[in-house]
Amino acid sequence: MPKLNENYLNVQDSYLFAEIARRVKAYEEAHPDKAGNIIRLGIGDVTRPLTESAVEGLHEAVDEQTKAETFRGYGPEQGYEFVRRAVADYYERNGVKVDPDTVFISDGAKSDTGNITELFAQDNVILVPDPVYPVYVDTNTMDGKKIIYMNGTEENNFLPMPDDSVKADIIYLCSPNNPTGACYNKEQLKAWVDYAAANEAVILFDSAYEAFVSEPELPRSIYAVEGAEKCAIEFCSLSKTAGFTGTRFSYTVVPKELVFSSSDGRKMSLYDMWNRRQSTKFNGTPYIIQYAAAKVLSEKGMKECMENISYYMENARVIADTLRKKNIPFTGGVNSPYIWFKCPEGMESWELFDYLLEKIQVVGTPGAGFGVNGKYHFRLTSFGTHEKTKEAMERFEKLF
């Protein structure tokens, strides 16, 4: 009889968005007259269509697949050279040098942040922020790894800093952060790189929201910090940058400097291991999507993406302005599509959820869904339309 992976018994049910959907549905059924009035600013999915470069690239690549002479079958599991180079060029335009050979193309940062856990043995101490993107916790729980938390709170602007008394082997950082929208500055990231160097720890850096950073002095990659190439793996994606949530393209940078000793003193390279993992358990991202992604990553392609991002950031500004007017403390909204605010009047986050739904038919995400430290906070996203976002904030302003 097969022995199953019993760590799965310890994984929490991912009920957050299901529970939101359940409560919204119950409200709609109880108030059919108000159902059409509901504005959803909860889910972190984009709404703007694909850019011109992406569409052009997709059509062109599909046409290539119609002729035997230009048909492409299996590609390199790591991604085609042309797109790995396009990623490196994009980094370079943002002031960061990355070796294209260390760029691995994949179908999603969620896949890669999940699968990377396979490279690590079970007896590691994993340090994760709270509030947190639940995937970091769930994937390590499935592996039976020991997770410890660091607190993101109002006091530290939801940007936990290293604590020398804590000995972590693997550290998850996400900046600009999901769900809090907070963004580390260079000095703060340097403190993390210094901590990792001192403790020989590995930083798993999720930069999926880097394109939303508008303040030029803020780092968009951990490799903007000297020495990070010796301790950090970076995960990024076109999901939010280019509206690829349904099209799927991501990249992970694994520097060759990340070499550690096995228990009997043999050298093991995380680059080699990830390369072996991907070659064995992955067959590459679809050619047509790689082709389109290379166009998106060009200067012209990115200019188009930035137009969509500006559209979303205008929504963020509207939300942030409303909160400021009401003296409600918040993070995000400037360098991030997320706005994370303190629930007014001492409410808990699920309480506020029900209150907003009931009173003004606005749906957001209760902070409690992201960890203990989210109990009194609430997340709104800027991925709606201008009209709906403005309307939601007008209702909010009248309510409080």
Q: Which of residues 87-116 bind its own copies (CB under 8 A)?
A: 107-108, 110-111, 114-115
> Which residues make up each annotated binding site?
15, 44, 74, 109-110, 133, 178, 209, 237-239, 248, 283, 379
Tokens of 185: 């500055």
Figure out which of the listed residues 160, 219, 255, 284 binds its own copies, where binding follows CB under 8 A. 284
Stretches 55-63, 156-164, 205-213, 390-398: which one binds its own copies (CB under 8 A)? Answer: 55-63
User: Distance of CA 306 to CAs 238, 301, 311, Å?
Assistant: 12, 9, 8
Stretches 88-96, 178-186, 196-204, 211-219: which one binds its own copies (CB under 8 A)? Answer: 196-204
SS3 319: helix
Figure out which of the listed residues 32, 33, 36, 66 binds its own copies, where binding follows CB under 8 A. 66
Q: Phi and psi of 150, rounded to 5°?
A: -120, 145
Using CB under 8 A as the binding rule, the residues of this chain from 358 to 377 that contact its own copies are none
Figure out which of the listed residues 19, 28, 101, 138 binds its own copies, where binding follows CB under 8 A. 138
Would you count residue 139 as binding its own copies (CB under 8 A)? Answer: yes
Distance CA 209, CA 272 (A): 27
Using CB under 8 A as the binding rule, the residues of this chain from 155 to 184 that contact its own copies are 169-170
Q: Quick one: 46 or 360, whose CB is closer to its own copies?
A: 46
SS3 268: strand
Q: Quick one: 5 or 185, whose CB is closer to its own copies?
A: 5
Figure out which of the listed residues 15, 49, 198, 300 binds its own copies, where binding follows CB under 8 A. 49
Q: Shortest Cβ distance from residue 249 to its own copies (Å)?
A: 9
Tell me which residue has tokens 């009248």: 398
Figure out which of the listed residues 65, 151, 157, 214 binds its own copies, where binding follows CB under 8 A. 65
Tell me which residue has tokens 């569409």: 55
Using CB under 8 A as the binding rule, the residues of this chain from 242 to 281 that contact its own copies are 243, 245-248, 260-263, 266, 268, 270, 273, 276-277, 279-281
Tell me which residue has tokens 């709906």: 388
> Which residues make up each annotated binding site for substrate?
15, 44, 110, 133, 178, 283, 379
Per the CB < 8 A criterion, the answer to whether 230 and 195 are in contact is: no
Binding string, 199-238, against its own copies, x = CB under 8 A?
Answer: xxxx------------------------------------
Binding residues for its own copies, rule CB under 8 A, total 80
The conformation of residue 252, written as its DSSP 8-state character, comes to E
SS3 345: helix
Using CB under 8 A as the binding rule, the residues of this chain from 285 to 344 that contact its own copies are 285-289
Distance CA 33, CA 28 (A): 8
Per the CB < 8 A criterion, the answer to whether 384 and 390 are in contact is: no
Angle subtended by helix axes 81-93 and 287-296, to nearest 10: 20
Q: Quick one: 123 or 345, whose CB is closer to its own copies?
A: 123
59-72: string of b/e by CB count within 10 Å (b at 16+)? eebeeeeeeeeeee
Q: How many CA atoms lie within 13 A of 280 on its CB side?
A: 8
Stretches 48-56, 83-91, 210-218, 388-396: which one binds its own copies (CB under 8 A)? Answer: 48-56
Tokens of 9: 């018994």
Using CB under 8 A as the binding rule, the residues of this chain from 4 to 33 that contact its own copies are 4-6, 8-9, 11, 14
SS3 225: coil
Distance CA 326, CA 222 (A): 35
Q: Shortest Cβ distance from residue 266 to its own copies (Å)?
A: 7
Q: Around Cβ 36, how many Cβ atoms within 10 Å?
A: 8
